[in-house]
Amino acid sequence: MKRRRRLWQIFGPLIVAAVAITMIMVLPISFKQANSKTVEKAATSLSANVLKGESLKDQAMSSSGNYVPFIGSSELSRMDPFHPSILAKKYHRDYQPLLLGAPGTQSLTHFFSVNGMSASLRNKKAVVIISPQWFVRKGVQPNMFSFYYSPLQTTTFLEHAKNNAMDRYAAKRLLQMPSGTSDSIIHQALLQVAVGLPLTNFQKFYIQDIKGNALKTQDDVFSRLFLKDRERYIQKGLKHLPSKYNFTELDDLAGQLGAGETGSNPFEVKDSFYSRRIEPLEPKLKGSQRHFNYQYGPEYSDFQLLLNKFSQLHMDVLFVIPPVNYRWAEYTGLPQKTLRNFDRKITYQLRSQGFNNIDDMTNDDKEDYFMQDTIHLGWRGWLDLDQEVKPFLETTKAAPQNYQIKQHFYTKAWQKTPAKAVPNMVKTAD
């Protein structure tokens, strides 16, 4: 029949393509695991698809490579020879950092990412680098959050969501972002979780079997394809380092390297950063941060999500509070009080719940070549961090912890509490 043949000519290729795509995306086919080289590349790539995915992170955490998540933001991309990934490799440590973070990732993104890795993080250790700059009054910018938004991690979150303060708050926050309303069924499910209602059977089916499956498959297939390769920086860094680890010797070397790359400006900021990011705007930036304030806003509760999750997974976590380059802060007028207030409030939130493992570097702000630029650790700063990381990661299994999670940190009242209203738990001689 002529008509039938014509119809097949028109629609045949479409039907074949549609069936093939559906098979690949929806059916729970497991794909070959990425090889260890790919996982290694992923661990230092800082690519958004690693952070947004689950497959590569899970493979890293369950492999014999002893990966430890290093959770942070833009500082992770400052790969000079003293970067944690390079030190670990050079000195054959028993761990390898799994770098999670990129410019613009904040607590909320990390919560969904860590939540997606739940199974493989239980009883493990992690390092979290907290940026004071996250804690602006309005919290994470919605479009920045969207950039790192992971539909897959949202389905994982919804599959396991319970009627507790953590999940209700997380759902509420997601609903405030444009990402949370992009799929109408997910949107509805989030609304229910936010008020403590369970999902309907249809929602469960859609989120777990349809959307979740398709996203998992896409993650399996595509995440490993577009990884940024930072091997170049790592190899370069490895060459600079002496074969024996000696702190004084390394500290001198870090100082020398820092001095050699910061000659162009009075801020001890890396030359390339200075000429690209500061010089064109320099006069405008003078005094521009006089009114900055890091002690209020939703980021404190978003951060509480992370703490709550760590506690739930019985993890042992080292928290790092990096300083701000003093010379730069002087120029921009960023008040020391702003940083002290932030330090006091976040330290209270940590210590009062039993998170006592804190590397507070706030007072190292005047050290030479400690920062690679304005707010990002570099050379001597990385090495200084290593003095905490090295003993902490002698073993990668967490000892039993005693955390007391308090719901109060999810409230508006806490977000609005000034630092001076809480006890000062900052240890000065830490």
Partner 1 sequence: MINLQPYENPMYFGYLLIGLLPIIIGMLYEKRFRWYETLFSFCFLVLIFDGPKLGQGIALIGYTIFEVLLTWGYVRYRTRPKGANKTSIFVLAVILSIAPLVVVKFTPLFDPQHPSIFGFLGISYLTFKVVGMIMETRDGMIKEFNILKFLQFLLFFPTISSGPIDRYRRFIKDYDRVPTKEKYLELLEKGVHYVMIGFLYKFILGYFFGTLLLPNIEKIALINGHSNVLGLSWSLVGVMYAYSMYLFFDFAGYSLFAVGISYIMGIQTPINFNKPFASWNIKEFWNRWHMTLSFWFRDYIYMRFVFFMIKHKVLKSRIAIANLGYVVLFLIMGIWHGETWYYIVYGLFHATVMILTDAWLRFKKKHPDLLPSNRFTKVMSVVLTFHVVCFSFLIFSGFLDKLWFGFR
Q: How far is the CB of 397 from partner 1 (least distance, A)?
A: 41
User: Which residues, including other chains, have CB under 8 Å from residue 230's CB and lie 6 or more apart?
Assistant: 44, 45, 46, 79
- The stretch near partner 1 (CB under 8 A) out of 10-18, 67-75, 233-241, 297-305 is 10-18
Rounded Cα gap, residues 282 and 263, in angstroms: 16
Rounded Cα gap, residues 403 and 107, in angstroms: 19
Helix (H, G, I), strand (E, B) or coil at 65: coil
- The stretch near partner 1 (CB under 8 A) out of 7-15, 285-293, 305-313, 355-363 is 7-15
Query: What is the token pair recorded at 117?
Result: 């890795």
Task: Tell me which residues in 271-300 interact with partner 1 (CB under 8 A).
Answer: 276-277, 280-281
100, 103, 109, 115 alpha-carbon torsion, rounded to 10°: 0
Helices (H) and strands (E) in the chain, counts: 22, 5
Binding flag, residue 7, partner 1 (CB under 8 A)? yes
Q: Please give, one letter per residue, the 3-state secondary structure of 66-87.
A: CEEEEECCHHHHCCCCCCHHHH
Q: How far is the CB of 103 from partner 1 (least distance, A)?
A: 12
Query: What is the token pair recorded at 396?
Result: 């990668």
Q: How far is the CB of 183 from partner 1 (least distance, A)?
A: 9
Rounded Cα gap, residues 94 and 416, in angstroms: 42
Task: Tell me which residues in 127-146 interact with partner 1 (CB under 8 A).
Answer: none
Draw the binding track, 219-258, toward partner 1 (x: CB under 8 A; -: no contact). Answer: ----------------------------------------
Binding flag, residue 14, partner 1 (CB under 8 A)? yes
Q: How far is the CB of 276 from partner 1 (least distance, A)?
A: 7
Binding partner 1 by CB under 8 A: which of 30, 64, 184, 428? 184
Looking from the CA of 53 toward its CB, the CA atoms found within 13 Å total 26
- The stretch near partner 1 (CB under 8 A) out of 8-16, 29-37, 219-227, 324-332 is 8-16
Q: Return the number of the residue (277 or 390) whose C-beta is nearest partner 1.
A: 277
Binding flag, residue 187, partner 1 (CB under 8 A)? no
Point out which residues bind partner 1 (CB under 8 A).
Answer: 3, 6-7, 9-11, 14, 184, 276-277, 280-281
